[in-house]
Amino acid sequence: MSTTTGPVPSLTLRGALGWHRPLMVLAAAMAVLTVVGLVGLAADDRVLTGLPIWAKPTKFALSTLVYAVTWAWLVALVREHRPVAARWTHRAGTVAALLLGVELVVIVLQVLRSTTSHFNRTTPLNSTLFTIMAVSIVAVWLASLYAAAQLFRVRGLDPARGRAIRAGAVLAVVGMGSGVLMTLPGIVGPTVAAGITGAHTVGLADGGPGLPLLGWSTAGGDLRIPHFVGMHALQVLPLLLLGLELLAARVAVLRSAEVRSGLVGVAAAAYTGLLAVLTWQALRGQAVVAPDAATVAATGAVLLAATVGAAVVLRRSPVAT
């Protein structure tokens, strides 16, 4: 049987602009930066750490755009369901919007200076800019953590939607926090120059062979992969739920909110397992395109568990019996 969903923030364009203005302004700015980055990719032939120099701003702009729109909607969701927490949740969103903007400004500035932004302490100016980035992203992480915590205090949501949103938010915060692994001594690979205090690649210097545009290493472990996968759980799980809701019109068993909630729970557990496998693989210095037997077995175990879990949820449905 279905349950009521309670009020949700408007999904119209006009309604979206009112979710959280600073985050939506950031999203608009990131849309513009994405276009600039694409032009840069086509017109600027400079290469930095093995990639076109405008690849990083373009990737970060797209990722930040998605982050901003998603969290703007979630801040509005908290405001609709938990007005008592609306003020501080809104402030957390504003902090995130401002400081993500600062991070992107530094990234673009360093591109214009033909140098790297992350881990770069080769000169006093580069060190200052990286410190600004590091402090900004820690504050963004704390703001996201606070907003995620408020989602657990929201009541009145469809159980499947609530589970998808909360699980996605937790995994997003975990994925964002995993970036600290890139700065820990003994984990990252050798640096390419003095003054570089971190790396994306484990076991190798950054700038080696990698996937097109993404740059993820095809020769060693790359911590950007679990970082990316974790952060975007907040989009993947709700989109999965949306797919289940659309299928419910044709598949009777999916019309039960309890069944959808159970399937989302299985998906969240599987996503967590795959995130753990990707992190483990990267930390062992193993390229994502060349998994060894242990990685294949671990991935297979996660997928098998998810399949069994989904089958159990469906079998227990009243419609199935």
Q: What is the mean pLDDT of residues 198-207?
A: 82
Q: Tell me, what's the pLDDT at 297? A: 98
User: Residue 289: its pLDDT value, please?
Assistant: 93
For 93, 165, 215, the CA distances from 225, given in Å and listed in that order, are: 25, 22, 10
**Cα–Cα dist 141/174, whole Å:** 9
Per-residue model confidence as pLDDT tens digits over 141-176: 999 999 999 999 888 888 999 999 999 999 999 999
User: How far apart (Å, rounded) are the C-alpha atoms in residues 178 and 284?
Assistant: 15
Q: Give yes or no for residue 259 having a pLDDT over 50.
A: yes
Centre a 10 Å sphere on the Cβ of residue 234 and count the other Cβ atoms it contains. 27
Confidence band for 200, pLDDT divided at 50, 70 and 90:
confident
pLDDT at residue number 158? 87
pLDDT of residue 238 exceeding 80: yes
- Regarding pTM above 0.85, the answer is yes
DSSP string, 98-133: HHHHHHHHHHHHHHHTTS--TTB-SSHHHHHHHHHH
Q: Tell me: the pLDDT tens digits for 17-59?
A: 778 999 999 999 999 999 999 999 999 999 988 889 999 999 9
Q: How high is the pLDDT of residue 2?
A: 43
Domain map of the chain by residue range?
Answer: 1-157, 159-321
Tokens of 52: 């076109």
Instruction: Detail the DSSP E strand segments found in 77-209.
Output: 201-202
- pLDDT at residue 18, as a whole number: 78
Question: How many beta carbons lie within 10 A of that of residue 92, not counting itself?
Answer: 26
Mean residue pLDDT of the chain comes to: 89
Distances (CA, A) of 27 to 31, 136, 187, 216: 6, 17, 33, 25
- 4-13, 111-120, 122-131: which has the minimum mean pLDDT? 4-13
pLDDT beyond 60 at 195: yes
Res. 278: pLDDT tops 60: yes
pLDDT for res 156: 81
247-274 mean pLDDT: 93
List pLDDT tens digits, range 68-108.
999 999 999 898 887 777 889 999 999 999 999 999 999 99
